[in-house]
């Protein structure tokens, strides 16, 4: 099991967790993600690794509660544990010198884009960061955004903080001011990434998007995360998650992402009506597992593969 060493709310329905996962922490690179499962009957969900600390053996993730699993996860606190974590998964971001690199991030996408923004800056790029959010309470990590960039803009839909308007407005403003832009990375809701692709495509600005398709196993086996790039099928988990925006069929992505919407809404409603019981059940299951794990660790001699937790077994 994976202990949560720190949990704090960073925005409206957005929580940051630092979790003990030493082997993932040692291997993680910007742009990679992990897949976690909260309990035996729980679904597996992908989350980007915001940062890792190999010395402390921890990884940090940021979670926006939008449905059942993310809402249950965001009820957890420091001292709780997560049942399963696999990672790091996916290709790291391609980090090289482009010139001026613009990062466009929407809501929790800011946390997902930060590691790549830092890496691009370190590679000598002039990084311009455009963070968008619905309103002030959803603006996250402003200090880090400023630290990772030479120039940062905060946009809110309702004008409650920063400038009023969408991230696309700011990108269009920069282009209208003839600012040179050599590379764009867009991370956020699919309509936002599609809108960015529509702006940069005709100008032939190299643009990458981080695709948030539905994932199950994260190893290319289940086909759940299939995306269409031109005429080719790709798996976001093993071929991505970042892809050339000009190639992505966003309509198919949106269609596939909404495939289970009715079930997801029912599941969230059920959770909202029974959140206290569900959290108590989860904690009871984890406490049982903890006892099982400590008994197993005593019985198994060190080095026996059966004693490896899943993260270790995959990376062994």
What residue ranges bind Mg ion (CB under 5 A)?
A: 67-69
Q: Out of 83, 220, 228, 247, which residue is the one contacting ligand FES (CB under 6 A)? A: 220
Q: Does 108 bind ligand FAD (CB under 6 A)?
A: yes
Maximum CA extent, the chain = 68
Residue 222 found at the interface with ligand FES (CB under 6 A): yes
Q: How far is the CB of 72 from ligand FAD (least distance, A)?
A: 8
Q: Which is nearer to ligand FES, 163 or 264 (CB)?
A: 264
Which candidate, 169, 165, 170, 160, places its Cα nearest to that of 139? 160
Kindly state whether residue 285 participates in binding ligand FAD, applying the rule CB under 6 A.
Answer: no
Decide which of ligand FES, Mg ion, ligand FAD, none touches 235; Cβ closer than 5 to 8 Å per partner kind: ligand FES
- Tell the smallest beta-carbon distance from residue 47 to ligand FES (Å): 13
Q: Which does 222 bind (CB under 5 to 8 A by kind): ligand FAD, Mg ion, ligand FES, none?
A: ligand FES
Q: Between residues 114 and 215, which has the closer beta carbon with respect to ligand FES?
A: 215
Region from 60-68, 144-152, 280-288, 303-311 binding ligand FAD, contact rule CB under 6 A: 60-68
Q: CA-CA distance, 106 to 168, in Å (whole number)?
A: 11
Question: Which region among 68-76, 96-104, 132-140, 167-175 touches ligand FAD (by CB under 6 A)?
Answer: 68-76
For the CB of residue 91, give the shortest distance to ligand FES in the complex, in Å.
Answer: 13
Does residue 217 interact with ligand FAD by CB under 6 A? no
Question: Binding mask 252-281 vs ligand FAD (x if CB under 6 A, - otherwise)?
Answer: -----xx--x--x---x-------------
- For residues 44 and 110, the answer to whether their CB atoms sit within 8 Å is no
* DSSP assignment of the chain: -EEEEEEEEEETTEEEEEEE-HHHHHH--TT-EEEEESSTTPPEEEEEEEEEETTTTEEEEEEE--SHHHHHHTT--TT-EESEEEEEESPPP-----SEEEEEEETTHHHHHHHHHHHHHHTT-EEEEEEEESSGGG---HHHHHHT-SEEEEEETTSSSSEES-HHHHHHHHHHTT----EEEEES-HHHHHHHHHHHTTTT-EEEEE-----SSSSSSS-TTEEEETTEEEEHHHH-SEEEGGGB-HHHHHHHHTTTHHHHHHHHHHHHHSHHHHHHHHHHHHHHHHHHHHHHHHHSPTT-GGGS-HHHHHH-
Yes or no: say if 174 and 128 are a contact pair by the CB < 8 Å rule.
Answer: yes
Binding site partner of 66, from ligand FES, Mg ion, ligand FAD, none, Cβ cut-off 5-8 A by kind: ligand FAD
Closest CB to ligand FAD among residues 205, 248: 248
Residue 93 C-beta: closest distance to ligand FAD, Å: 12
Residue 264 beta carbon to ligand FAD: minimum distance, rounded to whole angstroms: 3
Interaction of residue 224 with ligand FES, rule CB under 6 A: yes
Q: Is 112 in the site for ligand FAD (CB under 6 A)?
A: yes
Site string for ligand FES, 200-219 (x = CB under 6 A): ---------------xxxx-
**Residue 18 contacts by C-beta under 8 Å, 6 or more apart in sequence?**
4, 5, 6, 7, 58, 59, 60
Q: Which is nearer to Mg ion, 71 or 125 (CB)?
A: 71
Smaller CB distance to ligand FAD: residue 69 or 125?
69
Site for ligand FAD contains 162 (CB under 6 A): no
């Amino acid at each position: 099991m994976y202990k949560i060493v720190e949990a704090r709310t960073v925005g409206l329905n957005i929580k940051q967790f630092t979790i003990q996962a030493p082997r993932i922490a040692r291997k993680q690179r910007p742009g990679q993600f992990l897949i976690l499962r909260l309990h035996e009957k729980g679904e597996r969900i992908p989350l980007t690794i915001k940062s890792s600390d190999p010395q402390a053996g921890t990884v940090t993730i940021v979670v926006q509660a939008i449905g059942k699993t993310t809402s249950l996860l965001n009820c957890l606190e420091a001292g709780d544990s997560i049942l399963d974590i696999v990672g790091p998964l996916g290709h790291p971001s391609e980090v090289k010198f482009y010139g001026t690199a613009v990062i466009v991030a929407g809501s929790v996408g800011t946390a997902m884009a930060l590691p790549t923004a830092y890496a691009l800056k370190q590679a000598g790029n002039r990084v311009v960061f455009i963070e968008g959010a619905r309103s002030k309470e959803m603006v996250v990590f402003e200090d880090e955004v400023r630290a990772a960039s030479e120039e940062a803009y905060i946009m809110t839909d309702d004008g409650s903080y920063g400038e009023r308007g969408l991230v696309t407005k700011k990108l269009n403003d920069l282009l209208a001011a003839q600012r040179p832009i050599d590379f764009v990375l867009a991370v956020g809701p699919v309509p936002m990434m599609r809108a960015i692709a529509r702006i940069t495509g005709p100008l032939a600005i190299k643009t990458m998007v981080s695709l948030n398709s539905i994932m199950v196993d994260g190893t290319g086996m289940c086909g759940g995360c299939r995306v269409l790039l031109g005429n080719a099928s790709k798996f976001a988990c093993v071929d991505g998650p970042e892809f050339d925006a000009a190639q992505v069929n966003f309509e198919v992505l949106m269609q596939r992402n909404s495939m289970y919407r009715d079930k997801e809404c029912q599941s969230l409603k059920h959770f909202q009506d029974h959140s206290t019981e569900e959290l108590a059940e989860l904690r009871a299951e984890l406490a049982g597992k903890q006892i099982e794990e400590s008994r197993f660790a005593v019985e198994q001699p060190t080095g026996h593969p059966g004693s490896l937790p899943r993260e270790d077994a995959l990376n062994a």
